[in-house]
Amino acid sequence: MEGKRKSARQSAQGTLAAGTGGTAAMLLPRALGALSLGLGAALLARPGMARELAGAERSVVAPLVIRGVAARELLHAAGLLASRQPAGWVWSRVAGDAMDLALMGRAALNLRGDRRHRALMTTGALAGIALVDLAVAVYTGRVMIARRRAISLRGSITINKPSQEVYRFWRDFGNLPRFMYHLESVSSDGDGRSHWRARGPAGIGVEWDAEITEEQPNRMIAWRSTDGTKVPNSGRVRFLPTPDGRATEVRVELDYAPPAGRVGKLAAKLFGENPEQQVKDDLRRFKQVIETGEVVRSEGSPDGLSLRQQLMQRPARPLGAR
């Protein structure tokens, strides 16, 4: 069971990472891995040419240094091309770039004429590669941090309505604030993109744009936030008809990275805004809205998300009951 939960969480984190640039965060290191593979192979195949391009003089040390650099590049290639979390390998390349720059800079100071010119040209090329490596390392590092701090929420409920009707109601995103009290508004542009406004912890407003990533009419809707949002998130809702077709099981999967990670989740709980409880409450209200047309309330079920209001809540009961 624990293995299944871990696998599901990793899958959710991967989905969230893709929504925040995770695809690029995997492709860019792979490209650097291919570059390392090419450089390593070229240095091993033509060490003499590499020495001449660098402006180095003939010596016993030069071939050893070139072979060492080639071996390092091939090691980086293996790590970058095979690893599922390549951020560390990219930083390793940055460290290697720093070593190469220091080595070439020192060599250039001891050379003269055309050899010094070639050494300086090689140093400039290495500096350019180092800047690219550094940019990729910073980018992939940020994406991986967002992936590690992702929070996965799950919930389900059975609604006494056909799946077509339940799907149609949810697909009109403007209906969501009717039962998701943390949402202020959702507006769609009709092209699979929408703008969301929500209340975060302590009433702080949060806005983001989202896009539908997959849709199966009457069966499933999947979406994710677009790049650049302060609260990266993704979600999936499945509408599973019961065997008799009269009811629908709604399964919600929501993954997001709070602004302050785990600390942000704890702060939400302190303000009475437990994410797990919110999902359960939202689904109960969704069932009430679609089955009865409104959220059923009593004096023991006040409207609100504050800690004081949640502590006051209790199930509705007949008048006069104690």
Give Cβ neighbours of residue 4 (< 8 Å, ≥ 6 apart). Answer: none
Mean pLDDT estimate for the chain: 79
pLDDT band at 59 (very low <50, low <70, confident <90, very high): confident
CA–CA dist 278, 182 (Å, integer): 8
Question: In terms of residues, how long is the chain?
Answer: 322
8 A C-beta contact, residue 283 and residue 153: no
Residue 40, pLDDT > 60, answer: yes
Phi and psi angles of residue 199, each rounded to the nearest 5 degrees, phi first:
-100, 120
Higher pLDDT, 57 or 191: 191
Q: Is the model's pTM score more than 0.75?
A: no
As a whole number of angstroms, the distance between CA 82 and CA 237 comes to 33
